[in-house]
Every structure is written in structure tokens, then in C-alpha cells.
Amino acid sequence: MSSSAAADSAERTPDRVGRGRWALVAVPALVVLVLDQVTKRWAVTRLCDPPYCPEQSVREPIDLIWTLRLNYAENTGMAFSVGRDRGWLIGVVAVGIVVGLLVVARSLTSRVQLVLVGVVIGGALGNVVDRITRAESGPFSGSVVDFIDLQWWPIFNVADTAVVLGGILLAISMVFEPGGSRAPS
């Protein structure tokens, strides 16, 4: 098949998503962002003495089930506290990832993949909001609120969960749904 025939075929391939493409990205992103910020505000209010929580004012953790407990922590780095005190760089990278995902979303035709892109974007933005609103020494310098503590894994939050699980499920869906994405024509 010639390249022009392939381009013609790609143009005739119906976009299974239609006009709702951006709603499929925006709605899950907004839901994750709001859920993340609401739970972090709850954690600050319930697990420490606000507005910020130096170590001496952290309250006792709340034990839930097995090793799961709610325990306040602040993270200036990323997962496993890598990049501690490099929040500005992590914030810039997170914004770049959001922009990259929006570019990728333009060529996706799978509703599932678009929703998962939204989930990852919402999680990334949740932590970016923390870095901006809690900044004390420049843009993105604030710490991220973490509070979900398994006691055998680093403490995390809703945004972290959305980025990790959303990213894993997005990768899996791209492997098992090869027609779900296509190169732009």
C-alpha cells in the first residue's frame, strides 16, 4: 500500500471517540484532582495542626486495617523521596508530562485510553497544585502532602495512586488494544 493510500485509509477510519474526546480526558482529570485536594485538606486538618505541620505538631496516625493507616507526611521530592528539595524541577517535569499526554490524547481513539490519560493528568496536577500552593521559596518549591501509609511502602496520596495505576493501566491498554491509538494522519 502506498503512503498516500495509507493516509487516505487513515482519514476514512472513523474516530470512535468523536466530539467527546476532551470530556473523556477532562472529567476524570477533574475528579482525580478534586478528590486528591479534598483528601489532602482532610489529612492536614485531621492529622496535624494546620496550616503546615512541622514534625512536632503531627498527631497520632489513624490505624484502619492490617498495616493500612493514615499518617501525615510532607515530601519535597518524588516517589521514595528521590529528588528531595528539587520540587521546582519535579514540578516543571510534571507540567511537561501533562502537556505530552495532551498531545498523545489528540491521536487516541480509545475511550478507555482517553479516560486513563485524564486520570494520570489529574494525579500529576494534584501534586503540582501542592507544590504551587505550599511554596515558600519560589515556584514549585512546596512540599506534597502524603498520608496513606501501608507501613511497608513509602507514604503516598490519591494523586500518586492515580499517576501510578493510571499509567500502568494505560500502558497495558496500549499493548492489548493496538487499534486504540493511531498516528496522526
Phi, psi dihedral angles at 153 (to 5 degrees): -145, 150
Give the Cα separation of 181 and 89 in Å (integer): 30
Say which of 36, 130, 149, 160 is annotated catalytic: 160
Q: Which of 36, 130, 146, 149 is catalytic?
A: 146
- The H or E element spanning position 11 is helix 3-12
DSSP string, 53-111: --GGGBPPPEEEETTEEEEEEEESSSGGGTTTT-HHHHHHHHHHHHHHHHHHHTTB--H
Q: Is 15 a catalytic residue?
A: no
The question of whether 36 is a catalytic residue gets the answer: no
Q: Which three cell numbers stand for residue 131?
A: 507544590
Catalytic residues: 146, 160
